[in-house]
């Protein structure tokens, strides 16, 4: 068996890969560098000479060959490697007639717990969405409690408003539902020192990404100093070396690799093993539709330190879209897939461009003085 065709397709802010083989199988993958899908596509095009005619079963070899081809690194490269890697695992599972999780050591759980992403802002909207999620069977919800004008508030107002919104959600769902608090890299380290401890009394399962991702050591420092509040980091990191430094400097925490960004299934399982060695848990990042959800589910099924899988309402909306999963959500859980490979059917024929993020890339928050709010 050899790879006979490499198909890379950009649909809006979505990017998919299909690998065709000489025995008629097709492996499917997706990247998660949603800001620059055309750049990821260009890198996959550069991979083509290596992949054509290659044995698709040499997954680890291909990972290193593609990652080390040129002396350049970054999320665009790792996302391209991830899409190809996921497709190679899909091919291997299909060839052997088993689901990917079986190739990763077999299942360690019978179903996958989900936390629902809540899209609202403000206490009232988030509390209502959280109540609806719990009524639908979810046992965990994730939300951003920062006010929309966070960049121009006094520190006191920033802290009290964020805490009040978190309190509204906790009061609505009670103590039997886990809260995952997402701060979307909006704070400075000094703001985080005030905001994060204020959330402690609401007992969040985790508080994620309070500061920008420019420095691994700065993220680790915030995690280490956030006593009493479990921290989560890593959705924009993309190598085992970055996660190694994060865990070594910041200690046990929730790691958040995105399989479509952090080198695919091959690399994410190594990140999970690093986390396990640090008594840390895996809550993989995921918000770009059913294909990456299913890739994440196979990893979740096979690792011991999985806690809860991120799940976007987009998965329900795209259930009949170009990427169709073999399993459907059952309340707040996904069944473990039993189909060979990923268990995803990808049909890009006449597929329309997708809007997976809902945000034009150039639209970012500005402070009242006109400066970029993220530049901290």
Which residues carry out catalysis? 184, 285
3-state secondary structure of 165: helix
> What residues contact 168, with CB distance under 8 A and at least 6 apart?
123, 124, 126, 127
For residues 164 and 195, the answer to whether their CB atoms sit within 8 Å is no
**Residue 320 DSSP symbol:** T
Contact between 335 and 302 under an 8 Å Cβ cutoff? The reply is no
CA–CA distance from 162 to each of 14, 49, 117, 121, 284 (Å)?
32, 51, 17, 11, 24
C-alpha distances (whole Å) from 234 to each of 44, 241, 245, 370 are: 24, 12, 11, 29
DSSP classification of residue 202: G
Q: Which residue, 85, 117, 55, is CA-closest to 312?
A: 117
Determine contact, residues 372/364, Cβ cutoff 8 Å.
yes
3-11 sheet: strands from edge to edge: 3-11, 14-21, 26-30
């Amino acid at each position: 068996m050899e790879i006979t065709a490499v198909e890379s397709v950009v649909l809006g802010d979505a990017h998919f890969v299909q690998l065709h083989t000489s025995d008629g199988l097709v492996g499917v993958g997706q990247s998660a560098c949603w800001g620059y899908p055309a750049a990821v596509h260009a890198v996959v095009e550069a991979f083509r000479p290596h992949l054509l005619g290659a044995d698709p079963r040499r997954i680890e070899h291909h990972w290193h060959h593609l990652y080390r081809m040129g002396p350049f690194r970054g999320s665009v490269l790792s996302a391209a490697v991830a899409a190809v890697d996921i497709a190679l695992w899909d091919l291997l599972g299909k060839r052997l007639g088993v689901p990917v999780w079986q190739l990763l050591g077999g299942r360690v759980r019978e179903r996958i717990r989900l936390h629902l992403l809540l899209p609202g802002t403000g206490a009232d909207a988030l509390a209502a969405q959280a109540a609806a999620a719990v009524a639908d069977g979810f046992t965990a919800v994730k939300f951003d409690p920062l006010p929309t004008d966070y960049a121009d508030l006094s520190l006191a107002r920033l802290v009290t408003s964020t805490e009040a919104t978190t309190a509204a959600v906790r009061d609505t769902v009670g103590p039997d539902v886990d809260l995952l608090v997402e701060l979307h890299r909006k704070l400075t380290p000094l703001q985080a020192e005030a905001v994060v401890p204020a959330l402690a009394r609401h007992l969040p399962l985790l508080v994620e990404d309070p500061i920008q991702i420019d420095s691994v050591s700065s993220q680790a420092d915030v995690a280490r100093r956030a006593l009493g509040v479990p921290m989560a980091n890593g959705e924009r990191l993309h190598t085992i070396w970055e996660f190694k430094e994060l865990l070594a400097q910041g200690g046990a925490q929730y790691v958040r690799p995105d399989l479509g960004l952090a080198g695919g299934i091959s690399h994410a399982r190594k990140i999970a093993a690093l986390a396990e060695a640090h008594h840390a848990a895996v809550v993989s990042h995921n918000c770009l539709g059913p294909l990456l959800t299913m890739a994440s589910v196979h990893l979740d099924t096979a690792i011991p330190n999985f806690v809860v899988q991120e799940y976007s309402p987009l998965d329900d909306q795209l259930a009949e879209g170009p990427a169709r999963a073999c399993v459907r959500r059952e309340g707040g859980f996904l069944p473990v897939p039993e189909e060979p490979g990923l268990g995803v059917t990808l049909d890009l024929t006449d597929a329309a461009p997708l809007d997976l993020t809902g945000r034009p890339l150039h639209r970012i928050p500005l402070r009242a003085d006109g400066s970029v709010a993220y530049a901290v």
